[in-house]
Amino acid sequence: MAAPDEHVGSTEIEPPENERTEAPVTADTSGSDEPPGPKIRETPEDIRLEATANTVAVHPSRDLLVCGDVDGDVYAFSYSCTEGENRELWSSGHHLKSCRQVRFSDDGLKLYSVSRDKALHLLDVERGQLVSRIRGAHGTAINSLLLVDENILATGDDGGTLKVWDMRKGTSIMDMKEHEDYISDITVDQAKRILLTASGDGTMGVFNIKRRRFELLSEYQSGDLTSVVLMKRGKKVVCGSSEGTIFIFNWNGFGATSDRFALKAESVDCIIPITDSIMCTASMDGYIRAINLLPNRVIGCIGQHVGEPVEEIAKSWNSRFLISCAHDQLIKFWDISSLPKMTVNEYRKRKKKDGRMKSLTKKALGDNDFYSGLVQETEKEEEEEEEDSESDSD
């Protein structure tokens, strides 16, 4: 914009338009000394902990996570894609031994934690203060925790005992020992009627919490059952194992598996459903894999904690990030926003010559692998060309 006439000398002639273009250039040059704005990343920065975290949980409606570590401490962090904006909000050291699991209530106002010290704690999420505790909730160390609804929760211990609690009274309404070894994971159906447990004795347990009774144990599977989730809109039950095999049960066919899928993994320690057909698994080998269920396929690698066992994975409230904690004392974030859009063909793809999994995120093969996304697009095109030339048989 040209300068007003009152700021121009009376003897000067207004310069032509082609000469007036120098003024904005001068303004741009003077503004170059301003500091650059904050850097926006595709995923939040890693969070480094003082000790190894056993468990991580994500707030149901905010960019906030909580983790529990081997020293018994519980930490709350806010996370952001803006560089340098991750913040520790509070910490709690009320557990005397290793904190095994933490879980948010559905409204995000309460946090429950269980520990090797056999205690069940309830904390206020905003302040991190201990609201109540049940000392000696189990006779042995508590290993797993599930919130059934706002008042009912279930816990499993190292001895194979399942307890269901009514937190309005602070007492257990079910106390059953049907497993011979530790209960590694618990899930519940959508109707909040049937509890399923995975155990180190190699069986899956079925409990009716409405009628408060034990139903049955599945057949023994090879290795410890380490995790249990529902897939295919509750029609399939999927269990991970310490042998790296995924066992699949039909709903109401809990006695024997309907299918199994052996991964090239040291173990399948935890599973998080992403869609009805796609789930993410974490392993002792440090890899986080994306798996398609029926047809059973390894879609690719979400990320890895190089050479370090992954303890737990969780999905952010908006399903944009997968969050993992491992023995490297890091909490890492992985972009999974494109994962629900992926489809898997019925017939198998030709394997890569080097045997590596496809990387599904830019950090899948390491934090410095910024071009892996571009590489994978090329690989996808090559695979599509190969598939066109293959027959439908395996």
> Which pLDDT score is estimated for 374?
38
Q: What is the pLDDT of residues 196-214, one digit of tens each?
A: 999 999 999 999 999 999 9
Look at residue 372 in the predicted model and tell me its pLDDT: 41
Q: How confident is the model at residue 373 (pLDDT cuts 50, 70, 90)?
A: very low
Residue 26 has pLDDT above 60, yes or no: no
pLDDT number for residue 207? 98
Torsion angles phi and psi, residue 167, rounded to 5: -75, -10
Mean pLDDT, the chain, as a whole number? 87
Beta bridge partners of 59: none
Query: What percentage of the chain exceeds 70 in pLDDT?
Result: 81
**The pLDDT value given to residue 343:** 85
pLDDT value at residue 181: 98
- Residue 154 pLDDT more than 60? yes
Cβ(62)–Cβ(317) below 8 Å = yes
Strands 142-147 and 152-157: antiparallel
- What's the number of CA atoms in the CB half-sphere (13 Å) around residue 25? 5
Summarize pLDDT for 160-184 with one digit per residue, the tens: 999 999 999 999 999 999 999 999 9
Cβ pair 293, 248 in contact under 8 A = yes
pLDDT beyond 70 at 112: yes
pLDDT above 90 as % of the chain? 77
Q: CA-CA distance, 170 to 195, in Å (whole number)?
A: 20
Region 313-326: mean pLDDT is: 98
Q: What is the mean pLDDT of residues 356-384?
A: 56
Q: Are 364 and 302 within 8 A, CB to CB?
A: yes
How much is the average pLDDT of 85-91? 97
pLDDT band at 384 (very low <50, low <70, confident <90, very high): very low
Query: 272 falls in which pLDDT band (50, 70, 90)?
Result: very high
Cis peptide before 295 (omega within 30 of 0): yes
> If pLDDT is split at 50, 70 and 90, which confidence band does 48 have?
very high
A 10 A CB-CB count for 291 gives: 25
Determine the average pLDDT of the residues in 256-275: 95
What are the tens digits of pLDDT across the range 322-356? 999 999 999 999 999 999 998 887 666 555 555 67
Q: How many CB atoms lie within 10 A of CB 159?
A: 16
**pLDDT band for position 139 (cuts 50, 70, 90):** very high
Dist CA 147 CA 187 (whole Å) = 9
Q: What pLDDT does residue 12 have?
A: 44
